């Protein structure tokens, strides 16, 4: 009797070794896209970008981050609103002590009483240092506080940051409840007019015709344009003396006139001396 033996099943082929092309290529796990733009600008003191719209209300908590007064005191927009009686007016300017900014600051100074008659508190806002703004405030005898925002957190939040590192001249008004009443760019006189019309004080209206020549000259100056475009501005611009009809000019004219009169008198006396 013949015994039949079962054949062993052929061994399974070993897997092929990985090639050089496949080495180091591990499939990355797929993650669900959150849909959040990582490059989105941080605005209003938070991670979300929210446009300021006139008529809408803003959340004052954290809005614009922390800023500093010209006296060196840390503060926020929320604190300024809480300290006010009716709300806050912020007028933005590119650079302290430059022509257009001086015109704007002085217009708000001259109209300070009627513009604050309904309880609004007025503040100037720029990227200048406390030292620069203190010099500006003292020299122009400004009755309101100047706010320093070197990082432009608040300037950006209210929509007046100008790329790459400039500041757009404008005015922003918010009431006690956080409602935005105004947010407009404009020239020196135009920014004052916005507030004047808003509070309904006819006596606070600015004579635009009287300041037209001054504004045109200031807005067209080279320094002003460079500042608004965010370009570097020489430090000497801050300390430049004002010579448009200042007291110093008048005193110099008087002195020159007196010298001329003395020369004339001396010449007359010499003429009157009889020849020897």
**Contacts of residue 196, Cβ cutoff 8 Å, sequence gap at least 6:** 111, 114, 115, 204, 205, 206
Closest CA to 131 of 70, 61, 179, 198: 70
Cα–Cα distance, 169 to 55 (Å, whole number): 21
Phi, psi (degrees; rounded to nearest 5) at 96: -60, 140
Between CA 67 and CA 150 the distance in angstroms is: 8
CB 32 within 8 A of CB 42: no
Ranges of residues in the chain with a pLDDT under 50 are 24-48, 201-218, 220, 232-250, 263, 266, 268-270, 273, 276
DSSP state of 85: S
DSSP string computed for 199-256: HT-GGG---HHHHHHHHHHHHTSHHHHHHHTT----GGGTTPPP-SS-HHHHHHHHHH
- E strands along the chain, which residues? 67-69, 74-75, 87-92, 120-126, 145-148, 161-162, 166-167, 170-175, 180-185
N-term to C-term CA, the chain: 177
Integer Cα distance of 166 and 194 in angstroms: 22
Catalytic site residue from 80, 89, 96, 101: 101
> CA–CA separation, 45 vs 82, rounded Å?
18
Is 106 designated active site? Answer: no
Question: Dihedral of the CA atoms 138, 142, 148, 150 (nearest 10)?
Answer: -80
Which residues pair with residue 175 across a beta bridge? 87
The pLDDT of residue 42? 40
What pLDDT is recorded for position 4? 59
146 exposed, middle or buried (CB, 10 Å; 0-12, 13-18, 19+)? buried
What pLDDT, on the 0 to 100 scale, is given for residue 200?
84
Torsion, Cα 263 267 272 276, to 10 degrees, reads: 130
pTM: 0.63
Residue 143 pLDDT: 98
């Amino acid at each position: 009797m013949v015994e039949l033996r079962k054949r062993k099943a052929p061994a399974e082929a070993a897997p092929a070794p990985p090639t050089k092309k496949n080495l180091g290529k591990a499939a990355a796990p797929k993650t669900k896209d959150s849909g959040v733009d990582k490059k989105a600008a941080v605005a209003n003191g938070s991670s979300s970008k929210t446009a300021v719209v006139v008529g809408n209300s803003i959340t004052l908590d954290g809005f614009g981050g922390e800023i500093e007064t010209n006296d060196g005191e840390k503060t926020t927009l929320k604190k300024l609103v809480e300290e006010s009686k009716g709300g806050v007016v912020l007028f933005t300017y590119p650079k302290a002590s430059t022509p257009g900014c001086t015109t704007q600051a002085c217009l708000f100074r001259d109209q300070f009483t009627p513009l604050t008659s309904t309880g609004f508190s007025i503040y100037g806002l720029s990227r200048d240092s406390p030292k620069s703004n203190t010099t500006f405030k003292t020299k122009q005898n400004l009755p309101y506080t100047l706010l320093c925002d070197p990082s432009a957190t608040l300037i950006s939040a209210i929509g007046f940051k100008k790329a790459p590192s400039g500041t757009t001249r404008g005015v922003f008004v918010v009431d006690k409840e956080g409602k935005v009443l105004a947010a407009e760019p404009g020239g020196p006189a135009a920014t004052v007019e916005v507030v004047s019309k808003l509070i309904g004080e006819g006596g606070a209206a600015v004579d635009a015709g009287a300041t037209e020549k001054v504004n045109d000259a200031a807005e067209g100056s080279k320094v002003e344009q460079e500042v608004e475009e965010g370009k570097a501005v020489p430090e000497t611009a801050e300390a430049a003396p004002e010579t448009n009809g200042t007291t110093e000019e008048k005193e110099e004219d008087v002195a020159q006139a007196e010298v001329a009169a003395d020369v004339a008198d001396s010449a007359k006396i010499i003429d009157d001396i009889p020849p020897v």
